[in-house]
Chains A and B, each alone.
Chain A
Amino acid sequence: MTQALMTAKTGMFDRVAELFEVIDSLPEKMSDEEIAGLLNFLPPDAAKSLGAMLIPRVREGSVAFMRMLARWLEDAKTAREKGKKAILVPFCFPPELIHAFDNAFPVTSEVLSTLGVVALEGQGERYYDMALGLGLPDHICSSNSIEVGSMLGSNDFQPQAIVSAAVGSCDINSKTHEFVANYHGIPIFSLEKPVDNTERGVEQYYRNYRTLIASLEEFFEEELLEENVRRVVENHNTCTDLYMELWELHKAVPHPVPALFALYTYGCRFSMWGTEAGVDMMRTIVGVSKRRLAAGDHPGEKEVARCLLTYTSFYFDLAGMFNWMDDQGYAYMGDGLNMLFPQPVETTSMDTMLDGMAEEARNMPMTRQMGAPSMAMGWSDDVITAVRELNADCAIYPGHHACKQTWSAASILREELMKRTGVPLLILQADSWLKRTTPIGVLQGQIDEFVKNVVVPKRSGRTKVRRKNA
């Protein structure tokens, strides 16, 4: 009994990995009755999330997404026994670089936190509390502190090194990863994004990226091979083509892409992008969306409003956020984490590939917007581009309380959106990963009021929205 307690899986990674082993063993196709039966066996929080992911319109995409993550978790879990080093990376770091090493595997803290919130009973809150228990302030970011809280406070999986790539674009992300590295004595490699988009700043970033590669090569005791780089780059390019196809599908009216696919897209970008598993997942959700377009299927009864979320979404209730938006006819055009605008990487030589990968890294979400010389303008420009291209009627800032940079730029975003496009911005206050801050019902109510009282009248031409300097 004592031995059993000592070896009990209490850490978030271990618990999530075990759950995904079960999910991965489920049949490819399941009937509604079989799914209902399965959900009965799961704890309520997991059943709620899985139930949201297995409703008919998203089921095929969700199964592909869960299989991809199951593979990712299995590879992370077995990395050490296969002689690989597990490297903790933030979401704003393109994982394909780590995938290009034979001796390493990327584990993304925000993806793990999200899986903990989605899949575990208690939604990972206990791990966040473990971080706070050490004295870390309650304004740290739950996106990564749920995962690192588990690393700090339980007998969980530990990475062999950390890549910190939010330096220059997010203080709290960088500080949290630095803290964990110091606390556990784990090596940390920083990739700084200069807040400078001039040629000099771009060159500096490319140099920083090459320096990081050199440090990793030394740490992994492995030279980065051209054939490996080419493999991940080719997969990146395929994923990019699929991403762009999905972007085009988002432009259709009515909008055919289920809201959850936005999450799956960047869930892939932050974990298995550059791998065949990532390509398969992207191919599946694009295929489903294309079929829906051909069939004229829209998630709701009719398209009431086209909504673009400008930063993170809310992950503690997939049914209450993503599926609810669909059901209301509030077309979910994607959120800020989809604003990564990937580009194909030139495969002519090792140099072109590494520069292309550096450029992709420079354009990851948050790095691109908050690492710009002006956070407000870098962000506004991207949001406005997306609003225009996707023909959005409104924008919603799902203000995640820990995200100080976007909070300090939100009022300018609102002004710029209105001035340049006439599109109104709803500002919400909540925590994207913790339900305890603002319940989903309150958020739904605010979105509802905004759409019904501001967006729909404007869409139908019943009110004129103020345009500054018009």
Chain B
Amino acid sequence: MMEEAIRISEEIENECVKEWKGAGGKVVGYACVATPVEIIDAAGLLPYRIRALGNPRTDIADAHLARFNCSFCRSCLQLGLDGTYDFLDGLIETNGCDHLRGMFENWMYTKPSPFFHYVKVPHLTTKDAMDYFEEEVGLFRQGIEKGFGAKISDDDLREAIERQEAIRERLRTIYDMRKGDAVAFTGAEALSLFLLASAVPPGKFLELADAAIDERQGNAVEGYRARLMLAGAASDELELIREIEDVGGLIVSDALCYGARAFWSPIDTEGDPIKALAQVYLGDLLCPRMYQDYPRRRDFVLDSVAGSSADGVIVMHNKFCDVHGVDNVQLRLDLEKRDIPVLQLEKEYGSKADIGRIRTRVQAFLERIGGRQ
């Protein structure tokens, strides 16, 4: 089952998407962790998180975005413009960061999607900001209803919240199974399962995830030198994680945008659904795009380090990513203050040329930590 999950997660237009589309289903793409996917799900649409899977090509995108824009966004734009994402029936923008905004603006300017909606996410969690975002979630619901001719009742929304919460719960279980001495999943496997969760219908994911969880009960990954936590920028690069693990750094926890930060907070499944979504997608949002909220992000990392008995932390960001690039310095300083070994890594997304350098730095980091032989 794990092999099947990995295989499906490594394709952008995977077999489940094709099957969904073949049955007349519609797929709506989003990129940012602050997108309330339950609204899409409640309308009977498939929410699909845009990814680049390490795609190094950016030649088409570079005619629109600049070399000073992050290569993850350029890579995603490339796939948007070269036809890879033609299966999407709609696009949801958020103001996640300046690069992401630019990616969506250029995508829509050059190759407009049949449906587009912009979810405006505040950068603060004041009462005014929370109220504003609640209205914004309501507007998103109306936008989806209008765009796809659907009617989303509160009950539909509650059911979608329960479905998505089940996905989150499975991901938390998978992550929990990496915390103890016996690590059931490698970091690359966990990332594969994470990617799967936002690229296939909920039922399919739950089936594959449950099977993987069963299969890995009592499993213990062996042959690593140190347990590492990975924190930082948007990255869905399976190859990168494999490279880090290949040199002996087993990833046992993370604070990544394509990772724990997307599912760690449980959603209230009982109360007002719009309020519940506003709380989880803004109030609980763990992202350096949020201001006056750094202590919560720092504590999440510190708790994860302690909870997963990590020997060290790699904080990474894609070149030109400002929000993570600066936040990572604060994180590094705070980890150093607590004598937690930390490696601050700047990288180009999807760049094969960068891999050798990264391997060397991780190897040196592992030597510094000492690790287990």
Interface residues of A (CB under 8 A from B): 134-137, 139-140, 164, 167-168, 170-172, 174-176, 178-179, 182-183, 188, 190, 192, 194-196, 200-201, 204, 207-208, 211, 370, 373-376, 399, 401-405, 407-412, 415
**29 CB-based A-B contacts, threshold 8 Å:** A135-B329, A135-B344, A136-B326, A137-B346, A164-B291, A167-B124, A167-B291, A172-B326, A174-B291, A175-B288, A175-B322, A178-B326, A183-B333, A190-B291, A190-B292, A192-B291, A194-B132, A195-B95, A200-B135, A376-B105, A376-B106, A404-B320, A405-B98, A407-B66, A408-B69, A408-B98, A408-B103, A409-B102, A412-B105
Q: How many residues of B sit at the interface, in one of the four size bands?
A: 35 or more
The answer to whether A375 touches B105 (Cβ under 8 A) is yes
The answer to whether B322 touches A139 (Cβ under 8 A) is yes
Q: Once bound together, how far apart are the Cα atoms of A134 and B328, in whole Å?
A: 11
The answer to whether A408 touches B105 (Cβ under 8 A) is yes
The answer to whether A204 touches B326 (Cβ under 8 A) is no
In the assembled complex, which residues on chain A have CB atoms less than 8 Å from the CB atom of B373? none
**What is the chain A residue whose CB lies nearest that of B325?**
A137
In the assembled complex, which residues on chain A have CB atoms less than 8 Å from the CB atom of B118? 195, 373
The answer to whether A404 touches B68 (Cβ under 8 A) is yes
CB distance from A401 to the nearest CB of B (A): 5
**What is the chain B residue whose CB lies nearest that of A405?**
B98
The answer to whether B106 touches A179 (Cβ under 8 A) is no
In the assembled complex, which residues on chain A have CB atoms less than 8 Å from the CB atom of B54? none
Q: Once bound together, how far apart are the Cα atoms of A211 and B129, in whole Å?
A: 11
CB distance from A430 to the nearest CB of B (A): 11
The answer to whether B66 touches A410 (Cβ under 8 A) is yes
Known: A194-B120, A404-B102, A410-B66. A140 touches B325 (CB 8 A): yes
Q: Is B359 an interface residue (CB 8 A)?
A: no
The answer to whether B323 touches A188 (Cβ under 8 A) is no
Q: Is B179 an interface residue (CB 8 A)?
A: no
Q: How many A-B residue pairs have CB under 8 A?
A: 143
Q: Is B327 an interface residue (CB 8 A)?
A: yes
**What is the chain A residue whose CB lies nearest that of B63?**
A411
The answer to whether A168 touches B98 (Cβ under 8 A) is no
Interface residues of B (CB under 8 A from A): 63-66, 68-70, 73, 95, 97-99, 101-103, 105-106, 109, 118, 120, 122-124, 126, 128-129, 132, 135, 288-289, 291-292, 294, 317, 319-320, 322-323, 325-327, 329-330, 332-333, 344, 346
**What is the chain B residue whose CB lies nearest that of A189?**
B292
The answer to whether B109 touches A376 (Cβ under 8 A) is yes
Is chain A's interface secondary structure helix, strand, loop, or mixed overall? Answer: helix
The answer to whether A408 touches B288 (Cβ under 8 A) is no
Q: Once bound together, how far apart are the Cα atoms of A32 and B330, in whole Å?
A: 51
The answer to whether A192 touches B122 (Cβ under 8 A) is yes
The answer to whether B69 touches A407 (Cβ under 8 A) is yes
Contact of A168 among B65, B95, B325, B333 (CB under 8 A): B95
Contact of B99 among A179, A195, A401, A404 (CB under 8 A): A404
The answer to whether B128 touches A211 (Cβ under 8 A) is yes
Q: Once bound together, how far apart are the Cα atoms of A140 and B68, in whole Å?
A: 11
Interface centre among B73, B126, B320 (most CB of A within 10 A): B320
The answer to whether A139 touches B132 (Cβ under 8 A) is no
Known: A176-B326, A179-B329, A404-B69. A139 touches B319 (CB 8 A): yes
CB distance from B349 to the nearest CB of A (A): 14
CB distance from B107 to the nearest CB of A (A): 11
In the assembled complex, which residues on chain B have CB atoms less than 8 Å from the CB atom of A402? 68
CB distance from A169 to the nearest CB of B (A): 9
Interface centre among B95, B135, B294 (most CB of A within 10 A): B95
Known: A139-B325, A164-B291, A404-B99. A196 touches B69 (CB 8 A): no
**What is the chain B residue whose CB lies nearest that of A168?**
B123
**What is the chain A residue whose CB lies nearest that of B74?**
A408
CB distance from B76 to the nearest CB of A (A): 13
In the assembled complex, which residues on chain B have CB atoms less than 8 Å from the CB atom of A415? 109
In the assembled complex, which residues on chain A have CB atoms less than 8 Å from the CB atom of B132? 194, 200, 204
Q: Once bound together, how far apart are the Cα atoms of A196 and B118, in whole Å?
A: 10
CB distance from A131 to the nearest CB of B (A): 10
The answer to whether A211 touches B120 (Cβ under 8 A) is no
The answer to whether B123 touches A192 (Cβ under 8 A) is yes
> 3 tightest CB-CB pairs across the interface, nearest first?
A408-B102, A175-B326, A407-B66
In the assembled complex, which residues on chain A have CB atoms less than 8 Å from the CB atom of B322? 137, 139-140, 171-172, 175, 404
Q: Once bound together, how far apart are the Cα atoms of A373 and B120, in whole Å?
A: 9
Q: Once bound together, how far apart are the Cα atoms of A54 and B99, in whole Å?
A: 41
Q: Once bound together, how far apart are the Cα atoms of A140 and B317, in whole Å?
A: 13
The answer to whether B68 touches A178 (Cβ under 8 A) is no
CB distance from B366 to the nearest CB of A (A): 20
In the assembled complex, which residues on chain A have CB atoms less than 8 Å from the CB atom of B317? 137
**What is the chain B residue whose CB lies nearest that of A207?**
B128
The answer to whether A408 touches B346 (Cβ under 8 A) is no
Q: Once bound together, how far apart are the Cα atoms of A71 and B325, in whole Å?
A: 37
The answer to whether A182 touches B294 (Cβ under 8 A) is yes
Q: Once bound together, how far apart are the Cα atoms of A172 and B103, in whole Å?
A: 17
In the assembled complex, which residues on chain A have CB atoms less than 8 Å from the CB atom of B291? 164, 167, 174, 178, 190, 192
Q: Once bound together, how far apart are the Cα atoms of A279 and B327, in whole Å?
A: 40
CB distance from B226 to the nearest CB of A (A): 22
**What is the chain B residue whose CB lies nearest that of A194?**
B120
In the assembled complex, which residues on chain A have CB atoms less than 8 Å from the CB atom of B70? 404
In the assembled complex, which residues on chain B have CB atoms less than 8 Å from the CB atom of A399? 66, 68
In the assembled complex, which residues on chain A have CB atoms less than 8 Å from the CB atom of B95? 168, 195
The answer to whether A196 touches B98 (Cβ under 8 A) is no
CB distance from A468 to the nearest CB of B (A): 13
Interface centre among A140, A196, A408 (most CB of B within 10 A): A408
